[in-house]
Amino acid sequence: MDIGGNSLPSASDTVKRKVSYFYDPEVGNYYYGQGHPMKPHRMRMTHALLAHYGLLQHMHVLKPNPAREKDLCRFHADDYVSFLRRITPDTVQEYSRQLKRFNVGEDCPVFDGLYSFCQTYAGGSIGGAVKLNHQHCDIAVNWAGGLHHAKKCEASGFCYVNDIVLAILELLKFHERVLYVDIDIHHGDGVEEAFYITDRVMTVSFHKFGDYFPGTGDIKDIGFGKGKYYALNIPLDDGIDDESYQSLFKPIMRKVMDVFRPGAVVLQCGADSLSGDRLGCFNISVKGHAECVRFMRSFNVPLLLLGGGGYTIRNVARCWCYETGVALGIEVDDRVPEHEYIEYFGPDYTLHVAPSNMENKNSREMLDNIRAKLLDNLSRLQHAPSVQFQERPPDTEIPEADEDEDDNKDERKDPDDDVNVDYLRVKMESVEPEAKDQDEMEVDKDVGEADESLNDTECLKDSTLPIKVEAPTSESLHTKVEEDNSKNPTEQPEEMDND
């Protein structure tokens, strides 16, 4: 099937794809606090599994450079980003008003290195989008990303910076249409909201709906204006299993790909939709979850895989390890190899765990009605939308390599992996004033003042408006190959939490 966009040649699921994998060894050191369900340590556990299964040697392993403040401000309000940069556990008393205003403090606590953490996971997602844009890989993976609840001016649901929106904005430089698919148990509200009134991004979210965070994602929410019917919400109930889930996922996504014809796909693989999750209530197996990755991979469209939720961390590591194998076209053994976190996977020490016998509250009639409604909505989209830009943002440039570095070049590195790339910021012509020095900005200004300047998502509201491209600066964000991808993380959490 011709799905349009920058599709790759048709191939079977077992065909190997060129995969770029983003990982920062420091990401596992960040700690939300005692008792908090979000544990960045799960990325370190996932990486250790990938190393001991031998999957790293089949990928380009990249350490993302931190996203710069100007990159984060392509979506987020300047004063909000400035606040994240300034706030620390030692200064919270000075920012009591701003903590409330930006929804930081409880679900989204202030912890050591908060801003660096945001820069790290956002940098991986933006870097993955750049790799896809330049066709350096077929699939890019950033398990640290996928934090889909963050809004323009506030944190939400353990998420501070919406790396997904930033990655999609990067992909939109090269692709007329980008598809976002969310299989986290929670509704992808932050991403949907960002692109709710544009037809250039279609958002599709499969999630628990009802008395459940964030409380959004009704099937009736379909987008607005030019974005009408470009938001799809699949509201599900407790206990949905693999068969029921796929009875919706495959026909809906097949129709989406046929009608929308995206040039690139972003798949948020939140693992809290797995059976037995600490905060979840679905009954999906690792293989059932990974079937969504396998299915989207089969369309041969540039694919960005991101993490997201997932709070029983041994199962998160299992899931993302297995899905990395799916991305590569490699079936990994069920037996977990000996490694530094092997005790988490006892007593069976297997990659796959059996679903529970919990009740599936999603009746056949309910599923049939949801499927029929969404397929009908998709049938209202007769053609893939076109984009009427007066001026297209230029391609991200890749400067020539520094000849002085040739003598020290690691022969294992891909020649494309050490290049610098500029993230160009697209803004409307009417936005002329230069940004204030962030160190002089008062973060306690009224939110309305920050909202007076338009950012990239607002430019999508009317695709006929003239576009101005800001000239690239000498400062650039780039990706670097991890020098030793066989190294194992050296630090473990203070106390092991098998959740």
Annotated binding-site residue? 311: yes
User: What local confidence, expressed as pLDDT, does residue 205 receive?
Assistant: 98
Catalytic residues: 149
Annotated binding-site residue? 416: no
More confident residue, 76 or 487: 76
Is 481 contained in some domain? no
Instruction: Return the structure tokens found at 301.
Output: 């469209």
- CATH number, residue 371: 3.40.800.20
Instruction: Return the structure tokens found at 262.
Output: 């995206």
pLDDT higher than threshold 70 for residue 125: yes
Say how far apart CA 305 and CA 124 lie, in whole Å: 11
The DSSP line for 435-448 is PPPGGG--TTS-HH
**Number of domains observed in the structure of the chain:** 1
pLDDT band at 13 (very low <50, low <70, confident <90, very high): low
Amino acid identity of residue 402, one-letter, is D
Annotated binding-site residue? 157: yes
pLDDT higher than threshold 90 for residue 448: no
Is 264 contained in some domain? yes
Q: What number of residues does the chain have? A: 499
User: What local confidence, expressed as pLDDT, does residue 455 receive?
Assistant: 72
Neighbouring CB atoms inside 10 A of 68's CB total 17
User: What local confidence, expressed as pLDDT, does residue 438 receive?
Assistant: 42
pLDDT band at 284 (very low <50, low <70, confident <90, very high): very high
R_g of the chain computed on alpha carbons: 22
User: What local confidence, expressed as pLDDT, does residue 390 receive?
Assistant: 41
Mean pLDDT of 186-203: 98
124-128, 309-313, 327-331, 414-418 — which is least confidently predicted? 414-418
Say how far apart CA 71 and CA 130 lie, in whole Å: 13
More confident residue, 21 or 458: 21
Say how far apart CA 398 and CA 386 lie, in whole Å: 28
pLDDT higher than threshold 70 for residue 89: yes
Annotated binding-site residue? 47: no
257 in Cβ contact with 291 (< 8 Å): no
Percent above pLDDT 70 for the chain? 75
Cis ω on the peptide bond leading into residue 347 (within 30° of 0)? yes
Mean pLDDT of 219-228: 97
Is 61 contained in some domain? yes
Is 49 contained in some domain? yes
Instruction: Return the structure tokens found at 206.
Output: 């499969």
For 124, counting Cβ atoms within 10 Å of its Cβ (0-12 exposed, 13-18 middle, 19+ buried), the class is: buried
43 in Cβ contact with 144 (< 8 Å): yes
User: What local confidence, expressed as pLDDT, does residue 252 receive?
Assistant: 98
Pairing status of strand 420-421 against strand 231-236:
unpaired
Instruction: Return the structure tokens found at 362.
Output: 């999603």
User: What local confidence, expressed as pLDDT, does residue 388 receive?
Assistant: 54
Grouping H, G, I as helix, E, B as strand and the rest as coil, residue 33 is coil
Neighbouring CB atoms inside 10 A of 276's CB total 17
Is 346 contained in some domain? no
Say how far apart CA 219 and CA 233 lie, in whole Å: 5
Is 9 contained in some domain? no
Is 448 contained in some domain? no
Instruction: Name the H helices within 329-464.
Output: 364-379, 447-450, 456-459
How far does CA 4 lie from the centroid of its chain?
23
Annotated binding-site residue? 186: yes
Domain of 64 in residue numbering reads as 19-333+358-379
pLDDT higher than threshold 70 for residue 329: yes
Is 487 contained in some domain? no
pLDDT higher than threshold 60 for residue 485: no
pTM: 0.81
47 in Cβ contact with 169 (< 8 Å): no
Mean pLDDT of 66-91: 97
More confident residue, 267 or 434: 267
pLDDT band at 393 (very low <50, low <70, confident <90, very high): low
pLDDT higher than threshold 60 for residue 427: no
The contacts of residue 331 (CB under 8 Å, 6+ apart) are 325
pLDDT higher than threshold 80 for residue 37: yes
Round the average pLDDT of the chain to a whole number and report it. Answer: 82
